[in-house]
Amino acid sequence: MERDGSGSRDADFSELVFSRWPKLVRLAYGFTGDVGLAEDLAQTALANAYAYWSRLRRADDPDRYLIRILINTHRSSFRKRRLAESLSGMWSGEHASALTADPTSAVDDRGAIITALAGLPPRQREVVVLRYWLDLTEAQVASLLDCSVGTVKSQASRALAKLRLSPELQEWGSR
Amino acid sequence: MMPDTEQQLRARLGPALDELQLRPAPLAAIVRDGRKAKVRKRISLAASLAAGAAVVTAAALTLPSVLSGPAPAPPLSTHYHVTANSPGPLSPPGQIASGKINGVAWSVRAKFERPDYFFTGIGTFIPQGTSLPGRYTTGDPVDGFLTALAGTAIQLDAVRADVTLVRVGLTNGQVLSLRPVAAIGAGNARLIAFATPDFRDVLSLTAFGKQGEIGYEIPWTGHTWFMVGQWLKPGQPALPRPQTAVTGSGTAFGHSWRQLVSSGPWGWCGEGDIDGGGGAGVCAAVLPALRPGVYYQDAGFAGGSVIGKSGLIMSAQVADSVAVIEFTTRSGQHTWVRPRRVGGRAFVSFASTTDAKAPQTVIRWAAYDGHHHLLGSGSAEQAP
């Protein structure tokens, strides 16, 4: 019986992993600006989800639960990563330059926005990606980030102001 | 906020994230890590229940007197045995090193999976990032490249072109000898890899070339990561001597927490520890001394571990004349903390929150000298 229960649990969990992996990695990529780190974060978040699987299964909105886990994982690691990135030049340096060096303008554009995002504080990056990539409402973002709607508004406003001034996105004002 | 700006941001962010090429989900590694996390969760729940009961009792007896000294760090066992072998003629392609930890096999291998390399270690992927260490002819003899904590602590390092051998000294008295391997193509750096039960088991790295010893370094080692720091010449003393202090500890938001600050040849490093499972850490090569008249300054390098959902360990460097710091939360609660000295500097660490409006958020500090005279006070809120 126990084996049957575990097998069913693993089958359900496998389905969750394969269906949510792309979204979580992309979300983490928006948070970190680095594919490897993003995959690491998504992997850790899904492993934590496994540990809380019974709660996750009962959750009204499992996606919201997963994103919360991902955000917590990101927050507990961003300071460490900031150091590692500053030491290795990965942060908005080698990675971003690799993107911007691509000969196609589409990739240049993608590299520019990721490089510009990397210049924001982690909290503002989270707000921007949740608000403008996942298209969540300000109230939903506030709930995910455990803060007030006013904080989301102010963080988004500051982020937008910074992005408009970033060298990578200088042409925004003229578009 | 300008609507057109929001639209432009959506238009640019969409392709940047939607078109990202991904590798398949590493299901087996996720499930295995998940099972370990589940065990840790049970252990930490039991520990925090016990710690919570102890703190409630102690608080009734001691507050508002000054909080006593933090708990000592648990010692690490030196009863382990590690082997690390260079690849041989029958080793699989891309093998960097393999060996055993207490009889359990480990190996690290570079696998080319278009368009990039991935590094397998103990049956799991080590996320590789997007930048390989390229041709490595100048700089430190050995440079930290990747670390992973997959049941054991794995360190993967890039090695300078003139280095022929790296010796790794461990806390159990063993010395591992590692030969660099060109596992990721001739155009990229050669690599070494080794595994230990814990990152804190590593004492030193020594690099050798054809002419003998090139240099050595004392790494900073934490619970969940490892940093290769400043390289020293052969025979050069490793100064300042490494020191570590617990600059704060307690129970907050249902979790036990500690903050450790270390000084040594690498500079300054801080690492949190939540429920005994480690936490975020940051290092700084240089920590400026406080200017005269400044009694309290955020030590950004030392904090950052998240406690539970919204708790946060924060740390500050304080002046030598400070005997005690009083922290006040938004709800008006007071806590008194004695600074702890490490490397000739004094630090305090405390639990606050990531939500500036929460009642538990620490909003003010006040510094007192040994005669209970107020030296200074100010805002302790974290920057947004």
Q: B91-98 long-range CB contacts below 8 Å, 24 or more apart?
A: B94/B183, B94/B184, B95/B181, B95/B183, B96/B156, B96/B181, B96/B183, B96/B191, B96/B192, B96/B193, B97/B178, B97/B181, B97/B192, B97/B193, B97/B194
Nearest residue of B to residue A144, measured between CA atoms: B309
Residue in chain B lying closest to A44 (CA): B30
Residue of chain B minimizing CA distance to A51: B38
Rounded to whole angstroms, the Cα distance separating A83 from A106 reads 30
Residue in B27, B35, B355 nearest the CB of A147: B355
Distance CA A45, CA B231 (A): 36
Interchain CB contact of B102 with A (< 8 Å): no
The burial class, CB within 10 Å (0-12 / 13-18 / 19+), for B61 is exposed
Min Cα separation A139/chain B (Å): 15
Contacts of B227 in chain A (CB under 8 A): 83, 87
- Of B253, B330, B339, which is closest to residue B302 (Cα–Cα)? B339
pLDDT of residue A107: 46
Closest Cβ opposite residue A79 in set B34, B282, B356: B282
Of A83, A109, A146, Cβ closest to residue B354: A146
Do A1-82 and A109-175 share a fold? no
- List Cα–Cα distances, B193 to B64, B97, B147, B166, B354, in angstroms: 51, 6, 10, 10, 37
ipTM of the complex model: 0.77
Residue contact B129–A29, C-beta within 8 A: no
Neighboring chain B residues of A151 at a CB cutoff of 8 Å: 356-357
Q: Is A148 helix (H, G, I), strand (E, B) or coil?
A: coil
Could you give the dihedral angle defined by the CA atoms of residues B231, B236, B239 and B243, in that order, rounded to the nearest 10 degrees?
80
CB of B81 within 8 Å of a chain A CB? The answer is no
Neighbour tally for A56: CB within 10 Å: 18
Are B20 and A26 an interchain contact pair (Cβ–Cβ within 8 Å)?
A: yes
Distance from CA of B101 to the nearest CA of A (A): 24
- Please spell the DSSP secondary structure of B79-141, one letter per residue: ---B--B---TTSPTTEEEEEEETTEEEEEEEEEETTEEEEEETTEEEP--S---B---SS-S
B-interface mutation test, from A15, A32, A35, A143, most B Cβ less than 10 A away: A35
Residues lower than pLDDT 50 in chain B: 1-3, 41-72, 123-130, 302, 383-384
Nearest residue of B to residue A156, measured between CA atoms: B1
Nearest residue of A to residue B145, measured between CA atoms: A88
Q: What residues of B are in contact with residue A89 (Cβ under 8 Å)? A: 131
The 8 Å CB, 24+ separation contacts for B59-66 are B64/B334, B64/B336, B65/B336, B66/B324, B66/B336, B66/B337, B66/B338
Q: Do A76 and B31 touch (CB under 8 A)?
A: no
Q: Which of B20, B23, B131 sits opposite A94 (nearest CB)?
A: B131
Instruction: Give the model confidence (pLDDT) of B207-223 as tens digits.
Output: 999 999 999 999 888 87
Task: Quote the CA–CA distance of B367 and B375 in Å, as a whole number.
Answer: 5
Q: Is B115 on the interface with A (CB under 8 A)?
A: no
Distance in angstroms (rounded) separating the CA atoms of residues B265 and A162: 37
Among the partner-chain residues B17, B127, B355, the one whose CB lies closest to the CB of A39 is B127
Which residues of chain A does B355 touch, with a Cβ-Cβ cutoff of 8 Å? 146-147
Q: Which amino acid is at A70?
A: L
Tell me whether residues A35 and B129 touch, CB distance under 8 A.
yes
- Which CATH architecture fits A1-82? Orthogonal Bundle (1.10)
Answer yes or no: do A110 and B15 touch at CB < 8 A.
yes
- Average of per-residue pLDDT across A31-43: 85
Q: Which of A29, A106, A160 sits opposite B20 (nearest CB)?
A: A29
Question: Which three-class secondary structure string do you get for B32-43?
Answer: HHHHHHHHHHHH
Q: Which of residues 339-358 of B touch A (CB under 8 A)?
A: 354-357
Does B359 contact chain A (CB < 8 Å)?
Answer: no
Range A60-69 average pLDDT: 83
Asked if residue B320 lies in contact with residue B346, where contact means CB atoms within 8 angstroms, the answer is yes
- B6 chain-A contacts, CB cut-off 8 A: 132, 160
Contacts of A10 in chain B (CB under 8 A): 31
Non-local CB neighbours of B179 within 8 Å, separated by 6+ positions:
B86, B164, B165, B166, B192
- Pick A109-175's CATH classification: 1.20.58.760, 1.10.569.10, 3.40.50.300, 1.10.10.10: 1.10.10.10
DSSP 8-state assignment for residue B326? E
Tokens of A156: 């988004």
Query: What are the structure tokens assigned to B206, written together?
Result: 């020594």
B26 touches chain A (CB under 8 A): yes
Domain boundaries, chain A: 1-82, 109-175
Summarize pLDDT for A75-122 with one digit per residue, the tens.
766 544 444 443 333 333 333 333 333 334 444 566 788 888 888 888
Size of interface A-B (CB pairs under 8 A): 175
Helices (H), A35-165: 35-51, 53-58, 62-88, 95-100, 105-118, 122-132, 138-145, 149-165
Distance from CA of B65 to the nearest CA of A (A): 32
- Residue B29 with chain A: CB contacts under 8 Å: 43
B6 and A29 in contact by Cβ < 8 A? no
